[in-house]
Chains A and B, each alone.
Chain A
Amino acid sequence: MEFSPSVIGQMLFTGALMGSIYGAVAMGFSLIFGVAKIINFAHAGVVLWVMYGVLVAVRSGVAHPYVAGLVAIPLCYVIGHGVQRTLMARVSAMSDDMQIIYTFGLLLVLTYMAQFFFGPDVHFLPSSGLAVEFGGVVLQVETIIAGALALGSALALHAFLSRTWLGKAIRASADNRRGATLMGLDVVRLSRVAMALSFALAALAGTILVTVTTFYPLRGLELAVLAFVIVVLGGMDNVFASFVAGVLIGMFEALGTLLFSPSIAHMAIYAMIFAVLLVRPQGLFRRRATK
């Protein structure tokens, strides 16, 4: 088989943009793992519910998807704060396997609640039909906006975590929770802020996903597994690396789909997790722990 450069370019660009959205989903997931040491599969359930929320807002003529997203992000921030206060308050004290069962259970509840309310049908929003072309590569405007927002949120989160006192305190409590407590940091409050931020990221990811892909209740499960693969690839608690790993996965998926078939591409992505765990269990971008 032969492919023209423009076809390959098309796939790589589209893949990178889709991947940046996956990265946005994964960042919230790895933020919570880093700070609260919770593997929160329910994160993808939040993304799913935001997608349905935006869909309902658009279908009922209440708001444009981006406007709905602007409402969803602060709303989810507040909900995330409340969830860490209630549903997740004791999760970090559970054993790892209990945690996974708990958060995976929450994901299933969110998934099947979506199925109950919205049915198993595939939904999508009508595209604006606008596209940009350069050098034989055609990109839908929604995809470009989605990629830009995902990249923007990754940069903003990175800046928050590395430049502000609160961001550094969140990283510190992830790094050494007992030490953080003994030096007077309020680790309970910090994990609430982290969960709130993670929910806000889920809202952003859900909003931009809804503008570029089809979705259905089981999409939540797929996103959860995908986010898990991405953070394992990026190194579990490294937020920015999760974003980069997301972009790589997106490009890998696109190329695999082009060269072979979508199912082979997906199988290869999940096979990659084993390769990474065997060869570089600390993730692709992480220095080995020093201590």
Chain B
Amino acid sequence: MSTTLSPILSVERLRVKYDLFEAVFDVSFEVWPGEAVCLLGSNGAGKTTSLRAILGALPIAGGRVCFLGDDTSGKSPGAMTMRGMIYVPEGRELFPSLTVLENLELGAITREARARTRASLELACELFPILAERRMQLAGTLSGGQQQMLAIARGLMGLPRLLMLDEPSLGLAPVVVEQVYAALGRIVRSGTPIILVEQHVHQALELCQRGYVLEGGRTVQQGSTAELAGSDRLRSAYLGVN
């Protein structure tokens, strides 16, 4: 009972010193069980920096991050991944000279996930049938869209308790974006909590229930995606004009 009443992830006044362009000064948001939440904002608003700091890949300079009820400060990406926080990075970051199948297998990073590799593989290939077809091919030879599908599928192999997706539509043709988002819709409906960082605001608003708008490293607005869709501020944050 108590688990359903507490957020999966809560970020309070997060501060990250990174570089001049993507510093984070004051970012707060929450993700509740079963929820899909988007972080919106222009390039350099601090979305990717926030996600990477939450994962432990960048040092946190201030604020508090709780994942599944525990303070995450000082934890490594490895430790966070072991707890079920799975990050699907911007630019996909696959292993290009390993096969599709090997990339997927490596996604099963916890003991529990590894024991369920076979079932997870079936699920991933059902979600993205092209991956089953290409399983013996080197990941580096896939098209951009297929690589994105592989990155998402690799994330699912880790049995995420929170899936963090960073710009999954970056550089993809509109048709492929539709395909990727259709699959993300199924993942959300299966109950996996999601944080989505996205520049394609339309898709993000359609997929998620709630969203936060980031501007210059600060959370400036939050609400249901229906509310955000009608907001002028979102438009200005997205376009990066004041």
Contact = CB atoms under 8 A, between A and B. Distances in A.
Interface of A: 165, 168-169, 171-172, 175-176, 178-186, 289-291
Nearest to B88: A183
Nearest to A237: B97
Contact of B96 (A168, A176, A184, A186): A176
A80 B128 CA distance: 42
A178 B80 CA distance: 16
Contacts of B154: 183
Contact of A179 (B55, B95, B141): B95
Grouping DSSP codes into helix (H, G, I), strand (E, B) and loop, the A interface class, with mixed when no group exceeds half, is helix
Contact of A186 (B57, B78, B107, B140): B78
A182 B89 contact: yes
B172 interface: no
A186 B77 CA distance: 8
Contact of B102 (A168, A178, A180, A183): A168
Interface residues of B, number: 32
Given A183-B109, A290-B141, A176 B95 contact: yes
A179 B80 CA distance: 15
B158 interface: yes
A185 B109 contact: yes
- Scoring B80, B87, B109 by chain A CB atoms within 10 A of each residue's CB, the highest score goes to B109
B158 to A, nearest CB: 7
Contacts of A165: 105-106, 114
B19 interface: no
A181 to B, nearest CB: 6
A242 B5 CA distance: 57
Contacts, number: 78
A180 B140 contact: no
Interface of B: 52, 55, 57, 76-78, 80-82, 86-87, 89, 92-98, 102-103, 105-107, 109, 114, 138, 140-141, 154-155, 158
A171 B106 CA distance: 11
Given A168-B102, A168-B105, A175-B98, A184 B93 contact: no
Given A181-B77, A183-B154, A185-B78, A176 B109 contact: no
A182 B95 contact: no
A175 B98 CA distance: 8
Nearest to A178: B93
A171 B95 contact: yes
Given A168-B102, A290-B141, A184 B94 contact: no
Given A168-B106, A172-B106, A178-B93, A290 B77 contact: no
A184 B86 contact: yes
Contacts of B155: 183
Contacts of B103: 172
Contacts of B57: 181-182
A128 to B, nearest CB: 44
B89 A179 contact: yes
Contacts of A185: 78, 106, 109
Given A172-B106, A175-B98, A290-B96, A182 B138 contact: no
Contacts of B95: 171-172, 175-176, 179-180
